[in-house]
Amino acid sequence: MDLSIVIPMFNEAENAESTLNRVEEALASFSGAYEIIAVNDGSLDNTLDLLNRLAEQDRKLKVVSYSRNVGRGMALKKGFKESSGEIIVSIDADLSYDPHYILDFLRALQAEQDVDLVLASPYMPGGGVQNVPLIRLWISKLGNKILRLAMPNRIYTSTGIFRAYRKKVLDSLELESDGKEIHLEILSKALALGYRVKESPAILTGRKKGKSKFRFRKTTLTHLVFSVFEKPMIVFGFVGLLTLAIGFLIGMYIVYLRFSGELTAGRPLITLALLLILGGVQILSFGFVAIQIVSLRREILRVQKENLELKKEIENGIVYGVEIKRPLT
């Protein structure tokens, strides 16, 4: 299998058939073998019945389903596990991005063999946005700008689902997230392992059918927590330096009062200045410790990658060039 398309679906009965048709139309000029994996994430409408009916008519379509709605992360993990393509593409069920961009992804991966992951990016030069609700667009842009500061490669769009992966990337990751934060988790771990990421300009459009799954508070909190997790000095450094600066300013004011003869013993300002200075130093030290923890996490990810690769070699029956003889069953 050359290509696998993974499409998470939750209550997408209005979009499912048209989405699958449009994906197949976009791949009409693709000469390789491909499969479409539709993952029913515990839909409460008739999405599953519709997918099963379509799968009976289309051998390229594989349906994966489970009864309880968990989240996009779980749906993607299930879809990735069932994928057999050398390139794996994930795309939204509402086709916020035109599926013809899949061919652009494939060309990018073919032209640059050292590129391992391609992201659709509406916020990079050449990309764009159409008919997206203003509040959602504002949150998305602001969140991605904050994440751009946290990411080591200064990526314009970190949160989108529409991506293409070489299979080896996903095979080397142990994914934990069950929600939309999985996009950030994959990107963070892939970058930590040294995989090369490329952005491809694309047009993001608003949903035409069905109900949006966007959640303001959860999305905002996820972006902020991830930014702190990736680059802790963004918070610790800012708060620590601000606390130190205020403490020094108060200290300078105390010195001024001392030499002007207006300083009285026991003023709470002296205690406050000392507490702020010591607190600022302590917060900065937390930041340096957090940086070391982030570095340690990257080393752990590399060890996990090596373990997964070794496990795969064992399962394939070859370790260090020695074929493992399996007993006949």
Average pLDDT for the chain: 85
Token representation of residue 200: 């491809």
Residues contacting 307, CB < 8 A, separation 6+: none
Neighbour count for residue 258 (Cβ, 10 Å): 11
Run of H or E including 54: helix 47-57
Task: Give the domain ranges of the chain.
Answer: 3-216, 233-318
CATH superfamily of 3-216: Spore Coat Polysaccharide Biosynthesis Protein SpsA; Chain A (3.90.550.10)
Lowest mean pLDDT among 159-173, 250-264, 293-307: 293-307
Q: What is the pLDDT of residues 147-197, one digit of tens each?
A: 887 776 788 998 889 999 999 999 888 888 888 888 988 988 898 888 999
pLDDT, residue 4, reads 97
Write the CA distances from 303 to 174, 193, 272, 308, integer angstroms.
11, 10, 46, 9
Q: pLDDT tens across 95-112, in order?
A: 899 999 999 999 999 999
> Rounded to whole angstroms, how far apart are CA atoms 140 and 215?
11
Residue with more model confidence, 236 or 77: 77
Q: Which of 198, 170, 200, 199 is nearest to 185 (CA)?
A: 170
Q: By three-state DSSP, how is residue 3 classified?
A: strand
Measured between alpha carbons, how far is 197 from 191 in angstroms, rounded to an integer?
8
* Per-residue model confidence (pLDDT) at position 131: 85
